[in-house]
Structure 1
Amino acid sequence: MSNEELVGQHDAHSLSECAATCQKDCGFFGYNPTLKKCRTHKKAFTSGMSDENGWRYYFPESPPSDCKDLRDNGYDKSDVYDIYPYGIKSIPVKVHCNIDIMGGGWTAIQKRFNGSVSFDRNWTDYKNGFGKPEQEVWIGNDVIDQLTKENTSSLYVTITLQNGTTLYEMYDGFSVSNEAGEYQLFLAGPASGTLGDSMRSHDLSGMSFSTPDRDNDKAGYNCAFDSNKRGGWWFNACHDAFLNGQWSPARWSYPWSPTVQYGTSVKGTTMMIRRN
């Protein structure tokens, strides 16, 4: 790298802080999250960029909006990263990115593996998200809406059984509407995998989200409030697929029927999305 191309280098605690320094005479910027260092450059260059360990480069208006962006920018390790679905000047969202499965670039929107986080939550909790991406998490319906609003995302679901076997189902089309639309679920395109298409077999596509304090299903009672369910989901009347049920095995029925009938069989679940 020539000195003429480098405008400045300084400490920066976040990518957004680094990006804010890329103003006049700045063609693009580099950020190293390990060193917490920022570089601003007058013009783009290619020589040596891929050889610098830990440095990633961005144009001012193109921060990583999701895990696919991170993968495309050269990140090759499944881990927790900051993404900017609302733009570079917004607060980053911490997510777990899977870079290994089916070409990588998957953003985890749900993850469970030990029941340490209760999914018996109200509408506001599901709206804003809860848990931690490195542990158990629901990323938040507002973020899911933002990530899928272009209707160009796939959904990848996994259930790991107590015997260690991991089953999956991938939907080619997945999106969720905004809060005004009650986070309505849309599934399109073919589904494939080893779990079976349990979300569409019970007509969950088109259903609004329900929580124990917000009944949007088609049953004669609140499916999300039922003692054998107690969690937010897209219910019809009520479900053949429900990954947010009570972790207590005796109370979690039909996580993914008919393939997985009881919570006693479940060791862990994930839901991940990726732009097509």
Structure 2
Amino acid sequence: MKDGHGYTVILQRHDGSVDFNRTYAEYWGGFGSPFTEMWLGNEYFHNLTSLGSRLYIELRYSDLSFRYVDYSDVIIDFYDNSYYYLRHVGPMTGNASDILHLYDGYYFGAHDVNLYRELCDCPMLNYGGWWDGCCRSPCGLTMPYNDPTYPFGWNCTAETTIKLMSVKMMVRRECFDCACVSSYMSVSGVYEITSPVTNNPILVECVMKDGYGYTVSTAGEV
């Protein structure tokens, strides 16, 4: 839970106990444990962001500093029912660098599936999966935890004297109507959604019936 909202954790790392050099199929279905380190899975990532979802990344460093990036909307889509790509990256706020836009439009790859192998064949994918086939950044959140070749990091050019110790990447689906609210709430009531016009939070009265959410009335912006 964050700021009164529920987020789904996609990626979590803090000690290197889980090997992230996995096959494309493993990245598809997910691996690890929420009690240690994990990747939820690209199929779930796609389902959670297919209509656009907020993406929040927490970064904690060896000097005890905390940094974050907050993307207003991100969409993970797929091509030919199997190749996932970063279709859209929205505006970012936060006190860390905007690295994700480097990968906007790129397909996800791993050591056994790399659609860019003939184009640029980035060796980083031999260490961990990501939306990168051309080494747009010399480090990454799925790289080995203690390997200086392609280190675990977010922005290597700014992380020369400190080390990234932990990361948590999570998404929150933006709801624009009561039909969306019904996907996680079954009780009628007043709920906060995102206005499709202003993109600001508003309150709506929802009636839940037969598994569907119906909008009765709307209030002003929160």
Q: Normalising to structure 2: TM-score of the pair? A: 0.69
> Which amino acid is 1:269 matched to?
V
For 1:117, the equivalent position in structure 2 comes to: 18
Uncovered stretches (5+) of structure 1, i.e. residues with no partner = 1-98
The structural deviation recorded for 1:262 is 5.8
Contact 2:11-2:169 at 8 Å conserved across structures:
yes
Contact 1:123-1:213 at 8 Å conserved across structures:
yes
Q: Within 5 Å, which residues of 2 pair with 1:77-88?
A: none
Q: Normalising to structure 1: TM-score of the pair? A: 0.57
CA gap 1:139/1:254 in 2 versus in 1, 3 angstroms: closer
- Is 1:257 equivalent to 2:158 in the alignment? no
| RMSD across aligned positions (CA) | 2.3
> Which amino acid is 2:66 matched to?
T
Identity in percent: 27
For 1:246, the equivalent position in structure 2 comes to: 144
Which of structures 1 and 2 has the bigger CA Rg? 1
Structure 2 CA distance, aligned partners of 1:141 and 1:263? 33
For 1:174, the equivalent position in structure 2 comes to: 74
CA gap 1:147/1:248 in 2 versus in 1, 3 angstroms: same
- Is 1:163 equivalent to 2:60 in the alignment? no
Q: Which has the higher contact order (CA 8 A, sep 6+)?
A: 2
CA offsets 1:114-145 (integer angstroms, 9 cap, x no match):
00000000111101100011210000111111
For 1:24, the equivalent position in structure 2 comes to: none
For 2:180, the equivalent position in structure 1 comes to: none
Q: Within 5 Å, which residues of 2 pair with 1:6-155?
A: 99=1, 101-151=2-52, 153-155=53-55
The structural deviation recorded for 1:154 is 0.8
CA gap 1:263/1:154 in 2 versus in 1, 3 angstroms: farther
Q: SS of 2:48's equivalent?
A: helix
Q: Which moved more, 1:264-273 or 1:247-256?
A: 247-256
CA offsets 1:247-268 (integer angstroms, 9 cap, x no match):
1142333722256436960110
For 2:128, the equivalent position in structure 1 comes to: 231
